[in-house]
Structure 1
Amino acid sequence: MQILGIDPGTAIMGYGLIEKQGNRLIPITYASWRTPAHIPMSERLLMLYTEMKAFIEAHRPEQVAVEELFFNRNTTTAISVGQARGVVLLAAAQAGIPVYEYTPLQVKQAVVGYGKADKKQVQQMVRALLGLNEIPKPDDTADALAIAICHAHSVNLLNRMGEIK
C-alpha cells in the first residue's frame, strides 16, 4: 500500500510517499513544494493544488495522511495552514483517495513512542525507520514522512475498527 504523507503549509508543503509492505516501510519519493511569499494567497494555493494534483496523477497513492491543524497563538499561521489543508483535502477527494488525519501528538507517539518527543527525535526516527542515510530536509519533508509513517503504523488498527475506506 502506498501512503502519501502531507505536512501542510502555504510557504512550504512537505510531502512523502512511502510503501508499506508487511512490516517494512519503503521510501518512494519525498521533498517539498514551495510558493513565493510575494504573490497573492489565491495564487499560492493554486500552485499547491496544481502540484498536489499532478503528484497524485503521477504516483496514484492509495491513501493520504495529513496533519490536523494544531492551533496555537499565531492565528495568521493557523489560517494559512488551514487553507493549505483545504487544498490537500480537495485534491485527494477529487482523485477519490481517502484522507486520514493525525494530530502532532499522534504522529510523535507513532514514530517515536513518546507524544512529547522533540523535532530532532522524530527526524532521527524517520531516518532510521525508512533506512535513509540522512534526515530529509527541509523539516516539512521529514514531518510529512513522519505523518505517512504514523498512518502506516495505524492501518492495522483502523482496519480492525472498520475505519479504512
Structure 2
Amino acid sequence: MSRRAGGTYGVSIVWGVDPGTTRVGISVFHVDKDEKSLLNIMLIDLTEEDVEGRLGAIAKTTSFFADLYPPDIVGMEKLVWGRNVTTALSVAEARGVMKYIFSLYNASIVECLPKVVKSAVGAYMFGKGKDAVREAVVQVFSDNIRATGVPWYAIIDDVIDAVAIALAVIEGDC
C-alpha cells in the first residue's frame, strides 16, 4: 500500500534523496494536507572517503538524520543506466545502503524518473534546464532555506535535486 504525502494519514515527513558516488543530497519536508514546509536540507560529502568508508558514512549520517526526522515517505531518483557502468554500480550501492536504513523506519520508498522530477518543478517544461530548477527551488523556498542556516550559494545541485525529488513525490507526480 502506498502512502500519499499528507493524504489519509494526515501529517507526513517526506524525504527527497539524490544519492551519488561522492555526494548525497537530502531534503526533508513536513507535509500536512496541502501545506508543506521545508524542514532541512543536507549534503553528505564523501569526497575524502574510500568506497567502503563512503558506504559507512552514508549509513551513519542517514541514520542520524532519520532519528531526527523519521521518514514516512522517501523519494529517490530512479537510477538510469548510462555508459558508465562503474558509476552506476557505485550509485546503486549507495542507494542500497539508504534503502536499508529507510526500511528500518518502515518508510515507503517512491522512485521517480529524472525527467519527471525536473518537470515537477516546472523549469524543464519550458526548456530552461538545471539552472532554472535551482533558481525556482531557491526562490520558492528562500525563507525556509534561510531558516536552515545554509547560505543559498552553498546549495549545490545534489541538494536542489533532492528538493525537486521530494516535491515530485509530494505532488504525486511519481
TM-score, length of structure 1 as denominator length: 0.83
Q: Which deviations, in whole Å up to 9, do the C-alpha atoms of 1:33-89 show, x marking residues without a partner?
A: 11234x431221011011111111121122111111122222222111111111111
Question: 2 CA distance for matches of 1:21 and 1:128?
Answer: 22
Q: Which deviations, in whole Å up to 9, do the C-alpha atoms of 1:115-158 show, x marking residues without a partner?
A: 5651112112212332446466121111111111110111xx78
Aligned length: 155
Question: 2 CA distance for matches of 1:121 and 1:51?
Answer: 29
Segment of structure 1 superposing worse, 26-35 or 71-80 = 71-80
After superposing on structure 2, the runs of 4+ consecutive aligned residues of structure 1 that deviate more than 3 Å are 113-117, 131-136
Counterpart in 2 of 1:163?
A: none
Q: Structure 1 residue 149 and structure 2 residue 160: aligned?
A: no
Cα contact 2:71–2:105 (8 A) shared by 1: no
Cα contact 1:25–1:129 (8 A) shared by 2: no
Which ranges of structure 2 fall in alignment gaps of 5 or more residues?
Answer: 1-11, 147-151
Question: What RMSD over aligned residues (CA atoms) do the two structures have, in Å?
Answer: 2.1
Counterpart in 1 of 2:109?
A: 99
Question: 2 CA distance for matches of 1:104 and 1:136?
Answer: 22
SS in structure 2 of the partner of residue 124 of structure 1: helix
Which of 42, 48, 59 aligns to 2:69? It is 59
Cα contact 1:25–1:130 (8 A) shared by 2: no
Segment of structure 1 superposing worse, 15-24 or 123-132 = 123-132
Counterpart in 1 of 2:135?
A: 124
Question: 1 CA distance for matches of 2:34 and 2:154?
Answer: 22
1:113 is displaced (CA, Å) by: 6.1
Counterpart in 1 of 2:39?
A: 28
Distance 1:144 1:58, change over 3 A: same
TM-score, length of structure 2 as denominator length: 0.80
Which ranges of structure 1 fall in alignment gaps of 5 or more residues?
Answer: 159-165
Segment of structure 1 superposing worse, 58-67 or 107-116 = 107-116
Percentage identity across aligned positions? 26
